Amino acid sequence: MMLLLSGWGIAQTKPASIWATARLSKEQVMVGEPLIVTVTVYTSTWFTKPPVFSEIQVRGAVMTKLESRTGAKTVTIGRKQYPAIEQRFVIYPNAIGQNTLPEIEVVTTGPPEGGYKGIERTVHTKSRSFDVLAPPEGIDATNWLSAYDLNLTETWDRPLRDLKAGDILERRITIKAQGALAAFISPIVPEKPDFGTIYPKQPILGNIQGQTLFNGSRTEILTYLLEEDGSFTIPEVSVQWFNLRNRQLETESIPSFTIDIADNPDLEFILSRQKELQEELDKETERLEEEDEEPFEFMGLNWWQLTLVILAASGILSLIYRWIKKIEFRRKEAQKAKLISEPYLFKELEKAISSNDPENSIQALARWYDAYRQGKYGASIYEFAQDKHQETLLNELVKFGEIAFKEDRLAQSTSQLKSLYTALSDTRTSLNKESHSKNEEAWMNINPTTH
């Protein structure tokens, strides 16, 4: 029975079994085809904090994490269930040949078996190999785009009718590729028109996270200045891409169409007015630059006086910030100390026993005793009761052990647990009074004039 109850000592623990695996969705992919990596970490106890999955670089590829795609589950191995957490990544390979996914580090936090305090542990997955295939023969690999679906659209900022020379049009051409990153979508370079000039703007790139993939988009913004009158054709725009669903090369296009541009008798006046406006803008810019050269003054302070005021204010704010941080740190430390203090853990033990949960009560008892003994007593409560000659507590421990462990009726031991708690509470009160009396006696011996 002594050996049986000695297992209640918090020191009787062993490291949890923790390991991590990496699984690839495929072992062979095309250049640019997304490869899903599922990293799973397992434990034989539980996780007290979410695992931290390291982000690594894969040679000749882009690897990105699927944010908010962490899944928790329970896996049965043999007769034991293991809590597990998954994190998914996507690899976009851009180099042909065999490649390797390196080891991925996972930092976990969880208690050992038989314990309750979280301990940080680091595990690694094994490296995994995969093959990257070249595009079909005759395909330009530099402009290669593979996707599960592709959509090509255009919009104009105004209807393409009643146009005349001197008008300005804005055209937006958007490519949306399912399963491809925006960085892999090649830019669209339209042919120079014979009716005017094209002024391209910075394209808009975007990536939207799906359930298991990213969907990239690229929008080209083109400004057309119509300079000639007549009937003109805006050429077709086409995008060639490899369909990963049917493994076929396909082309998406915007058909060519004709626009009619009318003559504008005021074109020369408009162009000359644009020149005048540009000259006025240049003069205004020069005037602002000259104003910038005048001595700086703000509320009667020159630049160096204002700098001193700002620095002084910054110093005061910095001191206030440090003071607030120090107070917050002390508050948090006090809260941490409270959560592991003996009085707090004894109240938690009382709550656990009142809830009629024997397993939770045993854990709470172990946590309280670990805080109470502080290295002064034996590792088990049984040893403590023997050393302090607490016969009532010893008897209750033996009764509880008989019911809970020897007869294997832990679920039916709630009433005996309450009796054990009463004996433990009486022992604790008695020893606390005894300790207080000894402290008072020692103080009187040191300071005889105080009585």
Q: What's the confidence (pLDDT) of residue 211?
A: 76
| The pLDDT of residue 163 is above 80 | yes
Of 371, 394, 450, nearest to 117 by C-alpha is 371
Query: Do the domains at 13-133 and 141-262 have one common CATH topology?
Result: yes
pLDDT averaged over every residue in the chain: 80
The larger pLDDT score, comparing residue 450 to residue 423, is at 423
- Cα 20 from Cα 42, distance rounded (Å): 6
Calculate Rg over the CA atoms of the chain.
Answer: 38
- CATH fold of 13-133 reads Immunoglobulin-like (2.60.40)
Q: pLDDT per residue over 377-388, tens digit each?
A: 766 777 777 777
Q: pLDDT per residue over 232-247, tens digit each?
A: 999 999 999 999 999 8
Q: Assign 3 a pLDDT band (cuts: 50, 70, 90).
A: very low
Q: Assign 5 a pLDDT band (cuts: 50, 70, 90).
A: very low
| The pLDDT of residue 124 is above 90 | yes
Q: Is 408 left (phi over 0), alpha (psi -120 to 50) or beta?
A: left
Question: What is the DSSP code string of 299-312?
Answer: TTB-HHHHHHHHHH
Please answer whether residues 42 and 19 qualify as being in contact, where contact means their C-beta atoms are separated by less than 8 angstroms.
yes
Q: pLDDT per residue over 209-218, tens digit each?
A: 887 788 999 9
Q: What's the confidence (pLDDT) of residue 64?
A: 87
- Domain 141-262 falls under CATH 1.10.287: no
Q: What's the confidence (pLDDT) of residue 343?
A: 86
Q: What's the confidence (pLDDT) of residue 1?
A: 37
- Output the pTM of the full model: 0.55
Domain extent listing, the chain: 13-133, 141-262, 342-431
